[in-house]
Amino acid sequence: MKRRSFIKTVGTAGLATGALIAGAPAVHAQKKYRWKMVTTWPKNFPGLGTGANYLADIIDRMSGGRLTVKVYGGGELVPPFESFDAVSQGTAEMGHAAAYYWKGKSPAAQFFAAVPYGLNADEMAGWIHYGGGQKLWDGLYADFNLKPYAVGNTGVQMGGWFNKEINSVDDYKGLKMRMPGLGGEVIKRAGATVVNLPGGEIFPSLQSGAIDATEWVGPYNDLAFGFYKAASYYYWPGWHEPGTVLEAFVNKKAYDALPSDLQAVLDQAAKAAYNDMLSEFTARNNAALVELVQKHKVKLRKFPEAVLKKMAELSLEVVADAAQASPDSKAVFESFDNFRNQSANWNRIGEAGFSAARSLAIKS
């Protein structure tokens, strides 16, 4: 009897264990989500296009494959500048761009990309994550059925490519230049004609003479686009884009349909992507600049102080006007400006103070 009881007990336990094993896949058989991401960048373009790829990949890995995102380059699924509407309307669940492309949707959007003489990359992250920026951004994009994220930063950009020297602000008069956002409004007031083009259309436009000058990002990206083949002068600093944020925007209904753990995956994947892109640009820009100057004989120039001073004056006017464009713009600008003031005070002592001191230890 004891033997039978033992066998019976083991048999019962075996059945229970089998039931648990049989039921185990049910624990992992959670709903899977298959999303599309539309971007404004050429497919696999270094830094920006690959940044979108990185975001999609890390979402996949962090979610254990429960949320996968297929990336479409600009023009593959929808035209680059129609990505905002495509995600808003649900044609795709996610987009990847820069918020100043949507100033026609809301002038306040520009403050979440780049502001002339504004915040650098670290300061933008600080404002968005700890200075109230994300809450304002969420409120702004909610009107378009979107949830925004900061998912990358190029760091400080270059001032642009020109086919003539810029010796004074007068040299902008009549100049046809590609420059988006608030920076474009500044050079417009200096007399330039502003042309807004997606990345893939810039080089042929510069080469054909349809535009006289362009800005894009910085040495790493600009080398990849081959701008040195179509323009001779490369100017710095990028006063118009001191720390340009790349954004992802998610269809709000698609976001709300996710379980809370996958929403958290998006939150953390965005921060990882932000840091990854900034790290890559930091690592690659100088080598690319050396190649542009030494191999391709690009003429590197610094904007004259008088030009930078005038652009600063015009920037104050443009940003003040943008801040009054709507109640949303006013609220966003007030938050942005307060954070800029406190950051500038710390930066003077911290980052700028260290940079000045470090020059004493570098023999170059």
Domain positions in the chain? 32-156+243-282
Q: How far is CA 119 from the centre of its chain?
A: 14
d(CA 279, CA 296): 25
Q: How far is CA 280 from the centre of its chain?
A: 13
Beta bridge partners of 94: 37, 250
d(CA 145, CA 249): 10
d(CA 206, CA 222): 13
Task: State pLDDT tens for residues 49-99.
Answer: 999 999 999 999 999 999 999 999 999 999 999 999 999 999 999 999 999
Residue 341, burial from CB neighbour count under 10 angstroms (0-12, 13-18, 19+): exposed
Task: State pLDDT tens for residues 92-146.
Answer: 999 999 999 999 999 999 999 999 999 999 999 999 999 999 999 999 999 999 9
**Phi, psi angles (nearest 5°) of residue 240:** -80, -25
d(CA 223, CA 157): 13
Beta bridge partners of 236: 302
Percent of the chain with pLDDT over 70: 92
188, 195, 189: which is closest to 216 by C-alpha?
195
Determine contact, residues 88/212, Cβ cutoff 8 Å. no
d(CA 37, CA 71): 5
Determine contact, residues 147/249, Cβ cutoff 8 Å. yes
The amino acid at 204: P
pTM to 2 decimal places: 0.90
Q: pLDDT class for 364, splitting at 50, 70, 90?
A: low
Name, in order, each residue with C-beta under 8 angstroms of 33's C-beta and a sequence gap of 6 or more. 66, 67, 68, 258, 262
CATH of the domain spanning 32-156+243-282:
3.40.190.170
Task: Read off the DSSP letter of residue 106.
Answer: -
DSSP string, 47-88: TTHHHHHHHHHHHHHHTTTSEEEEEE-TTTSS-GGGHHHHHH
61, 64, 65, 55: which is closest to 34 by C-alpha?
65
Determine contact, residues 105/84, Cβ cutoff 8 Å. yes
pLDDT at 236 over 80: yes
Task: List the end-to-end C-alpha distance of the chain, in Å, as a whole number.
Answer: 91
pLDDT at 360 over 80: yes
Determine contact, residues 109/99, Cβ cutoff 8 Å. yes
State the pLDDT at residue 363. Answer: 78
The radius of gyration computed from the CA coordinates of the chain, to the nearest angstrom, equals 25
